[in-house]
Structure 1
Amino acid sequence: MRFTVPKGWKELTQEQLRYVLRLLWLYNDRTDGMDRAKMAAFVHFCGFEVVRRTDQGWLCRQRKSGDAFLLDPELLPSLLESVEWIADTEQMNVRIEQVGGYKAVDFELQELPFGKYLEAENNFQSYLQSKQENSLSELARILYLVPYGSDGPTFGEEELLGAFLWFNAAKQLLGRMFPNFLKPASGEQEPVTQESLIEATRAQIRLLTKGDVTKQKYILEETDTWTAMAELDALAKEAEEIKRKYGK
């Protein structure tokens, strides 16, 4: 038997992406969840089903042709290596493109207004702390540009997880693009609270407006995320150079 499987996130069709996200959601709480997800994804990509275990190996059947074959259990580790990329969600570079008629913003968040990015970040951090699904729903509404006041779509489990993983992967990308401002946390950190999130948001706005409140609307609504990040990154670099030079 010869099978072909996607070599990474970028090669997934939208149907395959939804299936993988559903698997990751279903097996999230199991200690062996990732191995189960990888095995189920491999079987799905290859288009066969496992019938039963025999003394000679796993009896399997192709879904389309109905052809049966035996799968040697000793081959499983090497077969699963072909879908190892599923475990590396931070390298995810695709997202569900549309939910309930609402199209997703660009994956890298370059076109997302900076104010929306700040809202998304706050909901992302809130979910990490509380695990409340409403924070994920708000994150998804922002990423799919669902207008305030509208009912919008009802996000499914794989769509909520997809929004979370997408935003996390985008944050990793932003960290590489703007390393002076988005530095990895070091040492023991204070716990994230609603108050600390609000203060961090206000601090970023103050830096970009230079204290001029008349510019706030422009920064939040008309400035895209990457433009704002580039300015914050430059300011952070300047601050580090001043600190090295003067020790303050």
Structure 2
Amino acid sequence: MEAFFNLSLPPGWQSLSDRQLLYFFTQLSRDLPMEEILTLCLFKWGDITVLCHLHNGNYLVRQRHKPKHEAQLTFRQIHSATASLDFLRHFPTSPVCITRIGKAEAIDKDFTEVPFSTFISCDNYYQGFLHTKNESLLKDLATLLYPDVKRVRLTKPYLYGSFYWFASLKWYFSGMFPHFLKIIPSDSENLLGYTPPIGEVLRTAMNAQIRALTGGDITKEDAVLNMDTWRALTELDAKAKEVEDIKRQTK
């Protein structure tokens, strides 16, 4: 297949354009099996048109920019070709986002120079969605990630894109700040591991983070909330490491 068509497919998440990301999230929002999504992406990004399904079970196809070149592909060949897109089966391990929704531009994708208050609010909506599966929380998340997006209708593909963006950011931060942010195993039945009401847990976690940075001095709270996210997480990670070191020493 590659020899005939000379396919050029994106090698990973970071190589996807806005259009490609939107196409993937559109298929994802249709609740299709991942195998079907990968096949659709293969045909779309490989510029392949399926002409018909033949009696022998093969597919007659051609590339749109080579209308006179046709070929038969077996299901096995198509399945083999989709292996190059297997990265789509997993969340990105570094931030990936659609850079613009309508005229609304995204904030910096790795939250450089983004206020810590924005990160806290995003995390609350993200964790809340994980716990409740309430998509209105994804709309709230998207309006923070795309500050001027209120003028645009937020369809499911954009909501899923926002979710994937923040999920990839949290994964990335877990590597940068491993003492403070830890990834919960994906096979956990409850991704959050929470038993109290989610609102109560999130308020407690947020207050604990702010208190750790202010040292209990409420006059410093505004300064902490306006602090750069990276700076705040660096301080919280250092404090978490100190606690771990003390616990290790007392053992």
Q: TM-score, normalised by structure 2?
A: 0.88
Root-mean-square deviation over aligned CA pairs: 2.0
Q: Which residue of 2 aligns with 1:181?
A: 180
Structure 1 counterpart of 2:166, one-letter code: F
| Contact residue 105 and residue 111 of structure 1 kept, 8 A | no
| Contact residue 140 and residue 160 of structure 1 kept, 8 A | yes
Counterpart secondary structure, 1:89 = coil
Q: Distance in 1 between matches of 2:14 and 2:229?
A: 23
- Give the deviation of 1:98 after TM superposition: 1.1
Change over 3 Å in CA distance of 1:115–1:51 after alignment to 2: same
| Contact residue 9 and residue 93 of structure 1 kept, 8 A | no
Structure 1 counterpart of 2:52, one-letter code: R
| Contact residue 171 and residue 183 of structure 2 kept, 8 A | no
Q: Which residue of 2 aligns with 1:100?
A: 102
Are residues 1:78 and 2:80 paired?
yes
Are residues 1:19 and 2:20 paired?
no
- Give the deviation of 1:56 after TM superposition: 6.5
| Contact residue 95 and residue 166 of structure 2 kept, 8 A | no
Q: Which residue of 2 aligns with 1:204?
A: 209
Q: Which residue of 2 aligns with 1:246?
A: 250
Aligned residue runs from structure 1 range 29-178, under 5 A:
30=32, 33-54=33-54, 55=56, 57-67=58-68, 68-91=70-93, 93-146=95-148, 151-178=150-177
| Contact residue 25 and residue 157 of structure 1 kept, 8 A | yes
Q: Distance in 1 between matches of 2:142 and 2:169?
A: 14
Between the aligned residues of both structures, percent identity stands at 32
Q: Which residue of 2 aligns with 1:214?
A: 219
Q: Distance in 2 between matches of 1:233 and 1:206?
A: 14
| Contact residue 129 and residue 137 of structure 2 kept, 8 A | yes
Q: Deviations over 1:165-222 (max 9, x none)?
A: 000000000000000111234898333611111110011000001111111111112x
Q: Distance in 2 between matches of 1:12 and 1:125?
A: 26
Q: Distance in 1 between matches of 2:110 and 2:35?
A: 29
Q: Which residue of 2 aligns with 1:235?
A: 239
Q: Distance in 1 between matches of 2:144 and 2:208?
A: 22
Q: Which moved more, 1:14-23 or 1:165-174?
A: 14-23
Q: Distance in 1 between matches of 2:67 and 2:24?
A: 24
Q: Distance in 1 between matches of 2:95 and 2:116?
A: 21
- Give the deviation of 1:74 after TM superposition: 2.4
Counterpart secondary structure, 1:183 = coil
Q: Distance in 1 between matches of 2:43 and 2:101?
A: 26
Counterpart secondary structure, 2:92 = helix
| Contact residue 47 and residue 62 of structure 1 kept, 8 A | yes
User: How many corresponding residue pairs?
Assistant: 239
Pick aligned residue for 1:190 from 187, 194, 200: 194
Structure 2 counterpart of 1:137, one-letter code: K
Q: Distance in 2 between matches of 1:44 and 1:19?
A: 9
Q: Distance in 2 between matches of 1:232 and 1:132?
A: 29
Q: Distance in 1 between matches of 2:125 and 2:15?
A: 29
Q: Which moved more, 1:167-176 or 1:91-100?
A: 91-100
